[in-house]
Structures are given as C-alpha cells and as structure tokens.
Amino acid sequence: MEGSENDGNVTPIAKWKTEFSRKFQYFLDRSTPHTMERWLGTLAVAMIYVLRVYYVHGFYVISYGLGIYVLNLLIGFLSPKVDPELEALDGASLPTKGSDEFKPFIRRLPEFKFWYAITKAFVVAFVLTFFSMLDVPVFWPILLCYWIFLFFLTMKRQILHMIKYKYVPFDIGKQRYTNKKSASSSGTPRN
C-alpha cells in the first residue's frame, strides 16, 4: 500500500524530466542510422557557434577549451580500443603478415558517441557565450597558434602510431568486385 502512495507523490518536474529524457532517447535512437544528416546538423550547430563568437568578438578562451576538447575526442576516435603498444607487452599483437589472423579495427570512441559529444560540446559552448563573465580578454592569435601547434604535434604522433602498427581508422565501405562478364551476356540466348 505504501508503494502506491509514493507513486502518487511524484512531482510534475520529475515526471516532465522522465518524459523528456524518454523522448530525447527515442530521437537519438532514431538518428543512429542517419550518419550524414547527423553530421550536417552538427556542422550547422558549429557554424552558429562560430558566427556567435565572430559577431560578439569574444569568448576566445571558451573556443580554445572547445578546440582542446574536440582534439581529445578526435584522438579517441582515431585510436584503437586496444592499444597495440600495450598489447605487444602481453604477447598478443596486430597481424603483420597475410597469414596472421585478421583483427578488425575497433575504435576507442565509436562514431555515434564521437558525434554526440561534439554536438553537445558546441551546444554547451554556445550557451556559455551568453554569460559575459566568461568573456576573458585574451590575445586570441596566441591561443590559435598554440592550438594549431598542439593539433599538428598530436596528429603527427597519431599518424606515426598508425604507420607503426599498420592500422587505418577509416572505413571506406565494403570492397566491391565487378564481374567482367555479366550474366546476361554469357552467350546463351534466352527465349
């Protein structure tokens, strides 16, 4: 009997939060197979943020923090789930010859989580641009140069890691084989 009394005391805010969370998860689940549309939406959100920062002429520290966060996400997206350097210490390693067992590339940060984290980061950064106390005056070219330096240094290290352990984190789709002779031109007439 007590359980039914507690169910009646659910606040409207908690009920709304549960309903909103359920609907939001429903739309996230529905968007999963639509990769191109998701990334175009993220690009639109990013452009809105860039336009906001450009017209306000401020919030460069927030933009720098956003850039560092996106760089961190990118490293997770490009890295394998199991690091070959650590795996080599255990005795197991990635295949290096054609006779070795094939191991598919599994990302440390899957594409959907990568997309969701980047989109959420741009939305949060956009909201933060409405708080003037966060507009710290800085000389933005220094931050930009430092971020570019970090980006190239990090990407160089990641690319060298990819070359050393012979993995490619990009999937260009299933390889398609074309038949030189089609079935209809096999030489046997059909009636």
Lowest mean pLDDT among 29-43, 73-87, 114-128: 73-87
Is the Cβ–Cβ distance between 101 and 95 less than 8 Å?
A: yes
Q: Model pTM?
A: 0.74
| Residue 111 to residue 117: CA distance in whole angstroms | 10
Please state, for a pLDDT cut of 70, what percent of the chain lies above it.
74
pLDDT at 50 over 70: yes
At 129-164, the pLDDT tens digits run 999 999 999 999 999 999 999 999 999 999 888 888
Question: What distances in angstroms separate CA 100 from CA 21, 119, 165, one per listed residue?
Answer: 46, 39, 14
Residue of 51, 65, 76 whose CA lies nearest to 146: 65
pLDDT surpassing 70 at residue 71: yes
Q: Is the pLDDT of residue 21 over 80?
A: yes
- Sequence length of the chain is 191
- Condensed to tens digits (0 to 9), the pLDDT of residues 106-121 reads 788 899 999 999 999 9
Q: What is the DSSP letter of 150?
A: H
Query: Residue 156: its pLDDT value, please?
Result: 93
Q: How far apart are CA 87 and CA 93, in angstroms?
A: 6
pLDDT of residue 139: 92
